[in-house]
Structure formats: C-alpha cells, structure tokens
Amino acid sequence: MKAEIALLKGDGIGPEIVDSTVAVLEKTAQIYGHEFVFKPYLIGGCAIDATGQPLPEETVNGCLASDCVLLGAVGGPKWDGLAGDKRPEKALLGIRAALGLYTNLRPAKLYPALRAASPLKDEIVEGGFDIMIVRELTGGIYFGERGFREGRYGREAFDTEAYSVTEIERIGRVAFNTAMKRSRRVCSVDKANVLETSRLWRQTMHRLAEEFPDVAYTDMFVDNAAMQLVRDPRQFDVIVTSNMFGDILSDEASQITGSIGMLPSASLGDGTRGMYEPIHGSAPDIAGQNKADPIAAVLSGAMMLRYSLGLAEEADRIERAVDDVLNAGFRTADIMGSKQGSPLTCTEMTERILEAL
C-alpha cells in the first residue's frame, strides 16, 4: 500500500512526538512492504509566527489532498495574549470543520503494567479497564453563536449550544457500531434534566437504540458520569456524548489511566480520511528537552493505520510493541510513578518500541 500522510507537528513537544511516530510508521511500512509518504504543514503557533494565521490555506489544502493526517499539539504561553480567533487552538476547530470530522474516538485504557500509576485504589482498577469515549466534534457550544451584550448586571458574555437530530444520529450510530465490535454496551451522557439540547439528544438516542437490540443501552447525567468514572470505571464500555461534555470526561478518563501522555485519539468523518493526535497538550515546560512521552502519538499512528488505511494487523503490531515495552519495565518520566531507576528520554522510548516491533 502507498499512502500520503499529512504531518502537522505543531508546537511544544509536537515535533518530537510526531518524529517518533513517523519512525515507528516507517519501520512498520518496511516490515509489511508499504510506502508512506509524509508531507509536513504548519499549524498553530508556528503557523502564526510564519504566516500570521493559525491555520494557513496551504495546510487545509494539503490535508484535503492526503489520505490521513497526523497531528502533534498546538499552543503555548507565547501566543496566550492573542485574540480568540487568532489563537493556535482555533486551528483545531478549523481543521476539523474543513475535513468534516464530526467524531472523536478517545480510548482510555489502563495497562496492567501501569496499574500503580493510576490514582484510583487497587480494588477499583483490579483487572484494568478499557473505555472508548465517542465525542461529537463539530457541533454544540464550541460552534454556537457567541458574543457580548448588555445584561441584567452590565456587560456579559454568552455562548449558545445547538444540536440537530442529524448531528445526534450520526454520532450515535458511530457509538453503537463501535460497541458492536467491543462489549456491546453504550452509555449516553447528557444533562437532560436541565438542557433542551440534552433532551433532544436523549430522545434521539433512545430511538436509535431500537435499531441495535444487541447493544445494552443506558443514559447518565454528566455530573453522575464524572463521579462514576472514578468510582467504578469498569462499568463503562462505550460512552457517547456531546462536544463539551466529551472534552471534559475524556480528560478525566485519561487521568485515571495513570498518564495523559499515554492516550491517543482519532477524529473521523464519513470517509476514510481522519486526523489522529494524542490527547495531551503541547507541554511547553518540557519542549525541546527530549523528555516527552511518545506513546500517545505512536498509538495515534496505530489508530490511523486501523481506521483510515485498513491495516489492522499492522496496528495490532504497534500496539503489542508498546505493551511489550511497558511490560519490560521501560518508562518515561510521566509514568515512572514510584518505580526505581532513571526514566527514558523520548528518543530512548522510541528506540525501545522500534526494537519491539
């Protein structure tokens, strides 16, 4: 297979972890006889510095011409003083919209080798857990009407949330189809006791659930879901929820696994092109110091092989290599916990994964 992959290295540790992922993908391609062509484009703060815009047109066109997109991270204190529509993070919303990516898949898996790194008690995480959060990505409050106005107590800001039946149905189908390939359980998270959008969300999900009789379906309010994730994460298989709720819950889920540096994500639309990125940020405090954990980015690359390129065997091989490295006791600083010894650098961890491949 020959595939063209757009590289959006971005800011902070983004270039380091993307380079690690490229090395792993190139090794995998070599093993299986594929050809991956990597084309870099600017996004985020580095794009602002070079072009004045967080998402240059050249980047959008390059991603549209590619088979899939690999993203590092964007943002940093250097650009914190910019107006909202000029900040690096604005590029993420823009590229998702441009590529028609309305689904975000965020797995939260506790590796047995990292059980000690989880902040939860042993009796809660005994046996581990494996959750897939399906987050709606292009609707809701992040894309609604916003602005400033004069209110009851003077000047006020407002953001509005809107969801259509079509938007809810398409993300719901992704969740149910994903559950059919896992443990066949879907929990839909909303705030239907307060929000009209959540009431429509729940009504639509109930109707959709009738099409999937083999999937056990439940509803849960978002505040209860946040509590249940730390009380008993093993009760969840697939969680489907709105843009803002998914943003919050997926970060919570990442922390109970032991490290946000371990978790990948996939952003998908109706076609095979997707964008793949670790869920952590740009970590400017360690940028350029070779301390970053590349595993989340590497696993994002594995998801890319599976979901966009249809290379499940190759994806499995990368994931097994990561498992082997962790089981052998190798750690970067973020997942050291109380383990004795010196943490590996980003480069050293990448080398261990390449050896395991």
Q: Mind telling me the catalytic residues?
A: 142, 191, 223, 247, 251
CA atoms of 183 and 122, how far apart (whole Å): 23
| 136 φ/ψ angles, rounded to the nearest 5 degrees | -70, 140
Q: Which residue, chain included where needed, has tokens 């793949």? A: 276
| 115 φ/ψ angles, rounded to the nearest 5 degrees | -55, -35
Q: Which of 211, 27, 233 is nearest to 133 (CA)?
A: 233
Q: Which residue, chain included where needed, has tokens 């973020």? A: 334
Other C-beta atoms closer than 10 Å to the C-beta of 4 total 14
CA atoms within 13 A on the CB side of 47: 26
Burial letters for 52-73: b for 16+ Cβ neighbours within 10 Å, e otherwise?
Answer: ebbbbeebbebbeebbbbbbbb
Helix residue ranges, H only, 41-117: 45-51, 57-64, 90-98
150 beta partners: 155
Other C-beta atoms closer than 10 Å to the C-beta of 284 total 16
157 beta partners: 148
Report how far apart, in Å, the C-alpha atoms of 59 and of each of 8, 42, 47, 151, 313 are. 8, 6, 9, 40, 30
Q: Which residue, chain included where needed, has tokens 């360690």? A: 286
